[in-house]
Each structure stands twice: as C-alpha cells, then as structure tokens.
Amino acid sequence: MAVNVKKAIGAGIAAGLISGLVKMGWENVFPPRTEERDAQNPPYKTMKFLGIPDKLIHKNYTYSGHQIEWPGFIIHYGFSVSWAVLYELMRHKYPAITKDHGTWYGIGVWAAFHLGVMPALNVVPSAKDQPKDEHLSELVGHMVWMWTNDLVGSKVYDELKDKD
C-alpha cells in the first residue's frame, strides 16, 4: 500500500502529541527516577548537552499556582512526535513494525535511547547502573507510548485518507 506522506506526517504529529501526554501520565504513576535524579531529568540534561543555557532551560509559566518549566516539554514532545511520524511513514512500507500495535518498535526505541544513546551522552547512568525500577517504568512506558501512537496514528491516517 502506498503511503500518503502528508497524511502520514499529520497522523504522526497527532499521535505523537497524544502519546506524549500518555507517556508523561505514565511517568506520574510509575516514576522512572528518584526525586533526586529527576531534579536534573533527561530533557534537562539533553538541553545541557546541547549547550542551551540554564536561563533558557528554566523558562516557565504559571498555571494554577504551579511554576511549570516548559523547555523540557519541547524535548519530550519533540522526541515523541519525531518517532511517531517516522513510525507512521514506515508502517505502510514495512507493516511488520506494527506487530503488537508497535510495542516492539517502542521497545527498540527504549533500548536504543535508554540503554545506548543517553548513557553514551551521560544523560542517564549506564544501563547497568540504572535502577530496575527505571528500566521497568521506561520499558513498559515505551510500549504503552507506542501502542498509543499506533492506535491514534492509524485512526487519524484513515480519517485523513477518507477525506480524499
């Protein structure tokens, strides 16, 4: 089946935004890091790695009396949307990646980043030094995240396709 690139990108963006909310909610229920380690969480450390100054990293807005640092959301949602768009583009040419609603793709993204890239960049400790709670939360969280991407992306793509 040929992919409509514009619609796949639109579906991936929608899916990535929604799945980013799901992943953030997941981490509120099953926090992957201790409060001490979360004080400088992976989005913060990624921005530091990229050379973004603290005055920009700590920009915030106030909502309901809470100070919310929004730059970390750019990293979080940027990651989510990027991988969701790639998944949506690839699913039509390589349908095997949709096995089990993309959960294996999510496991692959988790392994690549949480066991490989982020430890190599010192964003998180090496895989052997990460607590089991962190591995479990991130592994299952990435499976739920991709399951959400798969369901939302396929629905949005079909809705957009039907408008042809």
Element (H, E) at 67: strand 66-69
- Give the alpha-carbon dihedral of 152, 157, 163, 164, to 10 degrees: 180
pLDDT at 78 over 80: yes
Predicted confidence band of residue 46 (pLDDT cuts 50, 70, 90): very high
pLDDT at 110 over 90: yes
**So what's the pLDDT on residue 3?**
87
pLDDT at 164 over 80: no
What's the whole-number mean pLDDT along residues 13-24? Answer: 98
Residues 3, 92 contacting (CB under 8 angstroms):
yes
Q: How far apart are CA 153 and CA 84, in angstroms?
A: 8
Residue 122 Rama label (left phi>0; alpha psi -120 to 50; beta): left
Structural tokens at position 17: 């935004």
Tell me the average pLDDT of the chain: 94
**So what's the pLDDT on residue 163?**
73
**So what's the pLDDT on residue 1?**
64
pTM: 0.92
**So what's the pLDDT on residue 33?**
93
**So what's the pLDDT on residue 38?**
86
Predicted confidence band of residue 75 (pLDDT cuts 50, 70, 90): very high
**So what's the pLDDT on residue 111?**
98
**So what's the pLDDT on residue 48?**
94
**So what's the pLDDT on residue 39?**
86
Residues 141, 27 contacting (CB under 8 angstroms):
yes
pLDDT at 142 over 70: yes
pLDDT at 162 over 80: no
